Structure 1
């Protein structure tokens, strides 16, 4: 019986999978059929070992199973019991081959799955170590350049960091699979994204290649779609917010990008921005505004303190000013945004002008007032008092 020929043909059926992965499966099936028995323990262990080897080599499970099943049905035609032509012996041989194939493939798949789980755990461990080294910065980040390349993240070009946060955090039963699903989606839609995605301290952190603005926008779009699908409910709406850093080159810059994305998230929360994923570069003006806190405190106090004398406090007037500037100083759009009448908006704007002695609509006053209102929102004033 030409077992090598059968193995080669089965390999062709399975798309060229190495026939050596059959091991001693074919001789074992022949012996089991001749003896009217099932595969023995050591023969099943050999199948499991072949499954583990295939997993380590990266062979697809479908192709591996195809190799074994093709080998089994090709073998069946050549076993002596079938060649003898006796109907009873043919039926017995068929049952023996099918049972051996069933047992052998079951052992094969078990070995493959166990080894695959070990490979995945090892990859996750490596990814975790690389991420921690990159976020540590300095020499640790530089030393992680090689391991990062091994798992597909090239740090020799521009790289950005995206951080996503939700009140319930990530990592629970409903979001534990989010990193893997997001990586697969990014690889499928934008091949050069090369993402490294993990859950860290409850946040979803994604480090990805950002060669141009289109790559960054693609990642933002995919993240929005995937996370909405996984976490959004009709009752609660979007339950997460993300921020993406400016692209930077080199492993040592990943920590800076991570810190920038987290800070942008904080700013987006304070400003109640509507975008699901904000770009840190779009918030640069707010970062500049907050760099000199004593000066910002003086700006808010000197400009807006009179509003605290209004009935109900300053909150509703600051909210009106913020919406007014956000809509380009159009009272009708401000009213629509705040669910107020236009008359109520104009009354509030007049009250602001009366209290602070500055006309919110006057171009000469607009920059100072807009900056003061924005700073008040960022610092949660007047609910939070300044030192």
Structure 2
């Protein structure tokens, strides 16, 4: 077996990556001269090829030293063998230190993210600088939920992080997993970041994914607030049966307002909508009609298409609602009261949860 094949077999480095190196060794041995510019450039090309093919630098170095050992004069072989083993030991220690540093950095990152999203403020601003965040600025948080919880080791985290860093830079955005969600923290001034995040979520998660986007807020507490808004937006989307997969907290502000006074909203729902419980066929068809009419901004023809019934049937149902409740969607003031009651009913799960 020739030297090239033997070195390749021992080290696992493809033989075509070593041919140019052996030529350099042979030339140096016969002439005593260092490799010229063309030879060095050819080795650079081979080095690039090794990196692109996933050959570890440690293996490539070992192959070079072994080839040197095998082609050296007998008197030099023991020394070169010792050099090879010494370099291998250096590499092993170096790689262990790198792996330890990576693990420590990952642990520090996870700890920082936990503290950031829970508002634990001990040295938070100082640590934030290390991860590229300047908490004096306004930040917005977007969260993505998959059909199954997303954990720290999910490769999607790294893929999305690399994609966003490639576009926006490494000192602007933080991507991590938290409470089973994929979290993106970005400067409020970087308005395209949440859209880019959503784009990659759409391509990386299953069909049941959903994204919530908080509002921009300043300071460490602002990140916590935006994170909660984003998470709550997903929860509201589930409770209300909202169709959009991307929900912005700014578009849902009316719902937290309603929920702050639960007693008042319960009274509103009971007063306005309880009469529908007496309707023939129950309240559900009438509630669906109100949802469709409000969703179509009062356009009864569009609402009829959504429901799959005739426009006359929609008109008939709205008249029944007016007679039962005393409220008409055609009257601006009454429409507001009726629509607020319908929103409250969806939040409360009326009438099922109310009686349960």
Taking structure 2 as the reference length, the TM-score comes to 0.75
Counterpart position of 1:96 = none
Structure 2 CA distance, aligned partners of 1:198 and 1:290? Answer: 30
Counterpart position of 2:149 = 169
Counterpart position of 2:183 = 205
Counterpart position of 2:342 = 373
SS at 1:226 equivalent: helix
Counterpart position of 1:130 = 112
Counterpart position of 1:334 = 303
Q: Please tell me whether residue 274 in structure 1 is matched to residue 243 in structure 2.
A: yes
Query: Is the Cα contact below 8 Å between 1:162 and 1:206 reproduced in 2?
Result: yes
Q: Any residues of structure 2 matched to 1:259-270 within 5 Å, and which?
A: 259-270=228-239
Structure 1 CA distance, aligned partners of 2:136 and 2:41? Answer: 44
Deviation, 1:210, is 1.8
Count of residue pairs the alignment pairs up: 311
Query: Is the Cα contact below 8 Å between 1:193 and 1:210 reproduced in 2?
Result: no
Structure 1 CA distance, aligned partners of 2:288 and 2:308? Answer: 12
Match of 1:34 among 64, 69, 72: 72
Structure 1 CA distance, aligned partners of 2:83 and 2:245? Answer: 56
Structure 1 CA distance, aligned partners of 2:251 and 2:170? Answer: 24
SS at 1:207 equivalent: strand
Q: Please tell me whether residue 221 in structure 1 is matched to residue 201 in structure 2.
A: no
Query: Is the Cα contact below 8 Å between 1:127 and 1:196 reproduced in 2?
Result: no
Q: Any residues of structure 2 matched to 1:237-248 within 5 Å, and which?
A: 238-248=207-217
Counterpart position of 1:153 = 133
SS at 1:170 equivalent: coil
Structure 2 CA distance, aligned partners of 1:210 and 1:158? Answer: 5
Deviation, 1:239, is 0.8
Counterpart position of 2:279 = 310
Taking structure 1 as the reference length, the TM-score comes to 0.70
SS at 1:139 equivalent: coil
Deviation, 1:243, is 1.0
Structure 1 CA distance, aligned partners of 2:89 and 2:306? Answer: 65
SS at 1:198 equivalent: strand
Q: Unpaired runs of 5+ in structure 1? A: 54-110, 233-237
Q: Any residues of structure 2 matched to 1:1-387 within 5 Å, and which?
A: 1=32, 9=40, 13=44, 30-35=68-73, 40=81, 43-44=84-85, 46-47=87-88, 49-50=90-91, 53=94, 111=95, 117-140=99-122, 143-171=123-151, 176-191=154-169, 194-211=172-189, 215-216=190-191, 218-232=192-206, 238-385=207-354
Structure 2 CA distance, aligned partners of 1:260 and 1:129? Answer: 22
Pair 1:350–1:280, CA change in 2 (3 A): same
Query: Is the Cα contact below 8 Å between 1:164 and 1:242 reproduced in 2?
Result: yes
Structure 1 CA distance, aligned partners of 2:34 and 2:138? Answer: 54
Counterpart position of 2:54 = none
Structure 1 CA distance, aligned partners of 2:197 and 2:62? Answer: 47
Structure 2 CA distance, aligned partners of 1:27 and 1:357? Answer: 92
Query: Is the Cα contact below 8 Å between 2:65 and 2:84 reproduced in 1?
Result: no
Query: Is the Cα contact below 8 Å between 1:193 and 1:209 reproduced in 2?
Result: no
Deviation, 1:333, is 0.9
Pair 1:349–1:49, CA change in 2 (3 A): farther
Deviation, 1:299, is 0.6
Structure 1 CA distance, aligned partners of 2:103 and 2:315? Answer: 62
SS at 1:311 equivalent: coil
